């Protein structure tokens, strides 16, 4: 093999190594940023989690994403697994925070919870199928309302 062919192969190899290394480091501008609405939603979830913790609820997870939907808070309280939806509204126009959990949202939460129940007991070391319930935490201005047994799955 000639020296020229060796040099060409070596440069191609070094170029491939640089390309691979460049892919592994994310540039700063690629870090996902939250919109103002998403930031308000995360703040409301944090506020609800603090409120529930003060009420004796153990928060197991936040923002559980499934292909069927998202569960805002997963909690444990008095031997019951809680699927908690957090809703926040600035004003009571259009029904407020509580009214925003309509039948479509309830069905979506039920499907996401059923999907999670297939894997959660083993991941969280829970009993095989613990009793479950759906709660809603509504934040309206400075008022926090915890609605236990907000709806049931049929």
* Single pTM value for the model: 0.72
CA angle 59, 102, 87 (to 5 degrees): 40
pLDDT digits (tens, 9 = 90+) for 55-103: 999 998 888 888 888 899 999 998 888 999 999 888 777 777 788 888 8
pLDDT of residue 49: 94
Q: Which residue has the higher pLDDT, 28 or 139?
A: 139
pLDDT of 121 strictly over 70: no
CB 73 within 8 A of CB 86: yes
Evaluate the CA torsion angle 69, 103, 142, 81 in order and state its sign.
negative
Residue 117 tokens, joined:
């129940």
pLDDT of 107 strictly over 80: yes
Q: Which residue has the higher pLDDT, 109 or 66?
A: 109
The kind and range of the H/E element at 61 are: strand 58-66
The count of residues in the chain is 154
The kind and range of the H/E element at 38 are: helix 36-54
pLDDT digits (tens, 9 = 90+) for 21-66: 766 555 556 667 878 888 888 899 999 999 999 999 999 888 888 8
pLDDT of residue 22: 65
Dist. CA 69–CA 34, nearest whole Å: 19
pLDDT digits (tens, 9 = 90+) for 1-12: 567 777 778 888
Domain ranges of the chain: 36-151
pLDDT of residue 17: 78
pLDDT of residue 34: 79
Q: How far is CA 66 from the centre of its chain?
A: 9
Q: Hunting for tokens 């939806």 — which residue is that?
A: 85
Dist. CA 154–CA 146, nearest whole Å: 22
Q: For domain 36-151, give the CATH number.
A: 3.40.1350.10
pLDDT of residue 38: 84
Q: How many CB atoms lie within 10 A of CB 47?
A: 15
The kind and range of the H/E element at 7 are: helix 3-24
Residue 22 tokens, joined:
């460049």
């Amino acid at each position: 093999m000639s020296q020229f062919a060796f040099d060409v192969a070596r440069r191609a190899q070094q170029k491939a190594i640089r390309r691979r290394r460049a892919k592994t480091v994310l540039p700063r501008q690629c870090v996902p940023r939250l919109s103002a609405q998403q930031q308000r939603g995360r703040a409301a979830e944090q506020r609800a989690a603090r409120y529930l913790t003060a009420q004796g609820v153990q928060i197991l997870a936040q923002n559980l994403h499934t292909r069927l939907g998202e569960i805002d808070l997963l909690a444990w309280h008095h031997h019951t697994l809680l699927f908690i939806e957090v809703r926040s509204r600035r004003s009571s126009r259009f029904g407020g925070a509580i009214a925003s959990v309509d039948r479509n949202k309830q069905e979506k939460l039920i499907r996401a919870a059923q999907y999670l129940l297939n894997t959660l007991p083993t991941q969280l070391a829970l009993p095989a199928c613990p009793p479950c319930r759906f709660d809603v935490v509504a934040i309206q201005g400075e008022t926090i309302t915890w609605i236990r047994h907000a709806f049931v799955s049929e």
